[in-house]
Every structure is written in C-alpha cells, then in structure tokens.
Structure 1
Amino acid sequence: MTRKKRKIILILSILVFVIIASASILYSQGYTLDGSFRFSRGGGLYISAPLTNSDIFINGEKEKTTSMLSDGLFMSNLKVGEYSILVAKEDFWPWAKTLNIKEGIVTEVRAFMVPENPKGELLLNDNFSNIWISPDGKLIALQKESGYNSYLVFYSPGNSNFLTESSQFTKQLLSFRDSISNVVWEKNTLFFKSDKGIIKTVLDAQRLSASSSYVSEPPYESSDFEKISKKGDQKIWWDPNTSEIFVDWLEENSQPPYYMCPEKPCILPLQIFRSHLAIENVDFLPGRKDIIILSVGNGIYALEIDGRGDRLIYPIYKGKGPLFAVSQDKDVYIIDENSLFKISLEEVN
C-alpha cells in the first residue's frame, strides 16, 4: 500500500471516528436524528401506572409489566413527535392516549384503571331521594320521602344501623318539605338549611343518636354545586344551568399541576366536561386529585382532568337517576330507584 493510500485511509478513519464520537456525545445529551436527518434534542416520557400487573405499550409494542416495586415506565432520548400509549389489565377498562413528545421536555402522565364490573351490594331499600356522607365516611345522611314531607335519617354503614333521634323536637327539626340546601358536615356535626331555618345536628356514631337544634348561621357558607380537595388546593364545581364542570387551582404560591395545565400560558378555571343532561353531583376520587366522579343522566362515571390526547371517561354505575356520595376509603354510596347501594372503587388507581 502506497504512502498516499495510507494517508487517505488515516484521514477517513479520523473522520469516521469524529462523526461517531460526535453522534455519541449528541445522543448522550438527548439529541436524536429526526426525519429530515437533522440532529434535534429528544424528549422523555414517564408513565405512572399504580395498579400492579398492568401492561404498558408504546406505539403497539409492550415495554413493561408493572409490579409492586416498579409502577412506572421512563423512556429518554425519544424522537420528537406523537406516541401512542396503552395501559391494559384484564377485567379493567384500557387506558389509551396519544401524546406529543417535545424537544428537551419530559412528558409526565398517570394512567387510571377502572374495573369493568365494580363490586357492589344493596344496603337498604326505602324511599330515599338524596344522600350526604360524613368526612370520615362513618355516617350517611339520607333524605327519605313520606307523603308530603321529607325526613333526614342517619345511617351507620359500619354496623348497619340507623341513628335514633334524641327527642321529639329533633324529629321535628329533621322533617321538612321539598329539600334541604347549604349542607355543611364538620366532624360529627351536620348543618343544613330547610324551610324551618338553619338546623344543627350533633351525631354520636357510638351511641347511634342524633340531636338537633336551631342555629343563627352555619360555621361557613357552602355551595351545593362545588367541592374542595382534601388539601384545599383544588376546586371543582358545576353549573346546573349549562351542565358544565370546571376545575381551578387555589394555591397562589405554587404552579398548577401538569394534568391541569400541561402547556403555558395556563388558562384557569378550566372547563373539563359539558353535557346536554343534568349533572347531579361531582366529587374528587379519594387519593387521586386528577380524577373526579360525576353523576349525570342515568349513570355515574370517573373522569380525568388531564385533557391531553382526549379526556377519558369510564362508567362506574348505570341505573335510572343515581345520586352518590364517596368516602375516603373509596366506597361509593349510591341512591337510585329509592334504594341505597355501595360500590367499592378500592381497585381504581
């Protein structure tokens, strides 16, 4: 081999080395080769799937099965563009989204899995028309219809017993016409407004007794059409006239979470649902501030706040005209066709 050829080979080898080394450095810094054969900085994707033994698919390819020790999937150096995501598990509704991966940004998303056939049971059968639940979930207030009057009765699902009115005066205060409003439940005390005025009822879950009296005003003003998250940083409410649901962030010193404001600028409050049917109730799913439960029409549904790649909604219960109250242990108590049911959402994550 001539000296000239050796020199050419050496130069080519150096060029190849420089190209490979440069490409490796760029790749290690998050750059990838796009469809136009140009280097662009890639993005990342993190998928949280808290339910164990869930299969995670990216663009149709299975990437992982979650476990108790690892409930998520992280992928880096992804090319910028759209990615199809599917999280699936037997006996659960599949969770699917198409997300846009952006340059230099890790896109975070959290799946939620709803069983196709939630476990349910019938608790009571009577002329019930409305329902409220105590903050600790130990007591349920039920509006019961009897002739031209309505009555407020209290039920303990833990021991399957009703509370007894402590006096005839209490029994009179717990009866009313039409319905009650401005319900405030603080620990073991329930406040509400009826045609008789503002009533305060002290409840004893151990002795199974209820004692009512008049008060001049409740501890604070409440709305029948809004709910505040347990930490007090989020609010959801619905407009009964337009059947729209909105969500807002209440913390002034911190940024809204990604599922509420995935892009800047963030415009709040955010409309997350609208229906031609009347919305009867809305609440947060305990343990998930990004998921709400709503009753509309003949069903109860779980709806995610995150609207990227379509906002997903799944059925929990189908009946005639259900109303619900949810406890912190994810038991949903449902009034429908005069009866009280309980559905467990313990598996919803």
Structure 2
Amino acid sequence: MYSLSSKKRLWYRISLAVIFVIAAPLLILYASGYRLDDAFRLASTGGIYISAPQSGVEIYVDNELIRKTSAFQKNAFVQNLKPADYEIRVTKEDYQEWSKILSVFPETVTEAHSFLLRKEPVLVEVRSLVSAETDGDRATSTATTSIKQIKNPEYDIAIKLFEPIKTSTLKKATSTDIEKVSRKLSVLRDGDILRVTWLGNMDDIPGYFCRNEICKEEIIINPNSKIKHFDFFPGREDLIIMSLENGIYVSEIDDRSKQNVQKIVEGGGYDFRILEGDQIYIKKAKQIFVLNQA
C-alpha cells in the first residue's frame, strides 16, 4: 500500500487548514445573508414578503414564478435578495393583475399586500319588491308579477344609505363625505384628490409610507376625475374605493411605485355605499345592486 511521505502529509494538512480558514468566514457570511454585488463586494441581502387575497394566485418576482397560493398558504417570502429593484406581479385567471416595483434594502424585509378584483363584477340586483313565497329577500329571475309582491326590507335599508347625511349626524360621525378615518389612518378629500395621513405612533406606521426607514407624512391618491364618494374598501385599510364620473374603482394607498387601480364597474351614473363596513351596495338610477366579493 502506497504511503504518503511526511512532507506531503504536512503539505496536505496545511492546505486543508488554509482552505478552512478562508472558507469558514465566507460560509458564515453566506449563511448570514451576504452576497457578492455587481462590483464583487460583499453586500448584505434583504427579502420581499407578498400577501395574496385568495388561493390559486400566481406570484412572480422578475417574471419568475415563485409561488402559487393555496387555501393554507396565501403569501410568499423571498429571501437572500441583493439590494435592488424587483418587479412583482400577482395574477389569477379572470381577475385583474396587480404589479409593483419594490426596492430591497440590506437586512430588511420589504412587505406589500396585493389585491385582485374580478374582470367582470358579479352584481346581484336588490329588488324593491319581492315575492311573498321566496325564501330570501333578493328577487330571482323566476319571480313573476302574478305572484303577490311585498316590500323588500333590504332595498329600503340600501336606498337610505344614499340619502344625504343630516348635519346633526355629520357632527357626531368619525367619518364623513370629506374625511374617512379607520383606526389610525385618515383619508381627506381635497378637491379631486385624496390625502392619506398616518395619525398613530411612527413606530407603527404602515410600510408603504416608508422607503429604507425614511417615512413621509402624506400619500396622495389622484384619480384624475371628479370624486363623488370614497371609503375604505371592506376588510382592507390599505385600499380606497371611489365613485368617479366614469365608474367605481379601487385604488391602493401604496405609492412606492405606480398605484394599482382596478375597476369594479365602468360607466357613468354609478354610485356606491358600504353597509357596516362590510357590504358594498351599488346604485344606478333606481336600481340597487350588491357586489358579490366571493
């Protein structure tokens, strides 16, 4: 059996020790999230966290599919990203696309919350009269005028939402047609723009107000149209629903890149109101619809 000389054994040991001394710090730095940048310098990495509103959603980072959401996992976290700008796209069949350019900073997780509305809304008409023989309050396509009709209490509730607010009620309300407040967020209408400000502690300010730990006091939403009515979108404090001259739209507050704006319905003559922060009622002329958000 061939035996190494003592000199070769010593040389191998020294070589392995040198390799270990060089490699160990590099492995530690790699495990700690450091990578080589374009100038071959060590740079700390960051990450991106994207939440999606439903299952079956595809999330892309720079056109690379990184996650298809399920009923149990509706978000994506990508780590060890070099500091840079990344294009995020969130898509689902029959839904409008959400996209965002987000910056990644060293040792920081950049967070964003997507939203997807249907390309074609599901609107259920709320009739003023319903059949006395139906189980629910909403009329079906099989209802006929030969059946005894009674007043629909849901229609009466919905139509009252569109009545002008009395002055006495306005003084007591925390939200008005001019300003909407949800917890620590204030949205103030100033002409045909909306000014969004944070009223709470700066330590708790939403991430979309900030860039690399530098936060601004105000975000502007400018729909380039007359704003007839606006409110927080049900269940989301980062989305604003607006009734404009050409339809009803939803805009995100986040302006770290171009704000995503998605339509609910297009066309003139539409208005909306929200009942108890949950149900969206849409009115056109004397017709009332409820938006099916499922």
Matches within 5 A, 1:155-174: 156-157=153-154, 160=155, 162=156
Q: Which residue of the partner structure matches residue 93 of structure 2?
A: 90
Measured in 1, the distance between the counterparts of 2:238 and 2:175 equals 23
- Offset, 1:97: 1.4
Is 1:13–2:10 an aligned residue pair?
Answer: no
Query: Where do 5+ consecutive residues of structure 2 fail to align?
Result: 129-150
SS class of match (1:259): helix
Alpha-carbon distance in structure 2 between the residues aligned to 1:74 and 1:221: 37
Matched, 1:49 2:52: yes
How many Å separate the matches in 2 of 1:334 and 1:289? 20
Equivalent of residue 184 in structure 2, options 233, 245, 251: 233
Shift of 1:330: 4.2
Judged with a 3 Å threshold, the aligned counterparts in structure 2 of structure 1 residues 104 and 263 are, in CA distance, closer, same or farther, namely closer
| Aligned counterpart for 2:266 among listed residues 313, 318, 341 | 318
Farther off after superposition, 2-11 or 261-270: 2-11
Matched, 1:23 2:26: yes
How many residues align structurally? 267
Other structure's SS at 1:281 match: strand
TM-score by structure 1 length? 0.68
Which structure has more helix as a fraction of its residues? 2
Query: Equivalent residue of 1:289, what SS?
Result: coil
Tell me if the contact between 1:237 and 1:282 (Cα under 8 Å) persists in the aligned partners: no
- Pair 1:65-2:68 in alignment: yes
CA distance in 2, matches of 1:324, 1:222: 16
CA RMSD, aligned part only? Answer: 3.0
Contact 2:234 2:279 in 1 (8 A): no
Q: How do 1:126-165 residues align onto structure 2 when only pairs under 5 Å count?
A: 156-157=153-154, 160=155, 162=156
Residues 251, 69 of structure 1: alpha-carbon distance in 2 compared, 3 angstrom cutoff: same
CA apart distance, 1:341? 2.4
1:245 paired residue among 189, 194, 198:
194
CA contact (8 A) 1:284 1:291 kept: yes
Matching residue's letter, 2:216: I
Amino acid in the other structure paired with 2:291: I
Aligned in 2, Cα 1:319/1:337: closer, same or farther, shift over 3 Å? farther
Measure, in 1, the Cα distance between the counterparts of 2:116 and 2:175. Answer: 32
Q: Does 1:32 align with 2:35?
A: yes
Tell me the alpha carbon deviations over residues 35-70 of structure 1, each in whole angstroms, 9 at most, x when there is no partner: 111111111111111311211122222111112221
- Matched residue type, 1:44: G
- Residue matched to 2:221: 272
Q: Which structure shows the bigger proportion of residues in strand conformation?
A: 1
Give the drift of 1:5. 5.8
Q: Deviation digits for residues 147-205 of structure 1, max 9, x if unmatched?
A: xxxxxxx9732xx4x48xxxxxxxxxx9xxxx975x2xxxxxxxx14xxxx6x8xxxxx
Deviation, structure 1 residue 315:
0.6
Q: 1:7 to 1:51 in 2, by over 3 A?
A: same
Kindly report which structure 2 residues correspond to 1:187-266, keeping only aligned pairs within 5 A, or say none.
Answer: 192-193=166-167, 219=172, 223-229=176-182, 232-240=183-191, 243-252=192-201, 254-266=203-215
Is 1:47–1:74's contact at 8 Å kept on the other side of the alignment?
yes
Pair 106,222 (structure 1): closer, same or farther in 2 beyond 3 Å: closer
In the TM superposition, what is the alpha-carbon distance from 1:316 to its structure 2 partner? Answer: 0.5
Name the CA distance, whole Å, in 2 between partners of 1:66 and 1:222.
Answer: 35
Identify if the C-alpha distance between structure 1 residues 221 and 45 changes in structure 2 by more than 3 Å, giving closer, same or farther: closer
Report the CA distance shift for 1:73/1:180 in structure 2 as closer, same or farther (over 3 A). closer
Cα 1:45/1:180, change in 2 over 3 Å? closer
Residue 252 of structure 1 and its aligned partner are, at CA, apart by 4.2
1:101 and 2:54 are equivalent in the alignment: no
Distance in structure 2 (CA, Å) of the matches to 1:249 and 1:155: 41
**One-letter amino acid of the structure 2 residue matched with residue 233 of structure 1:** K
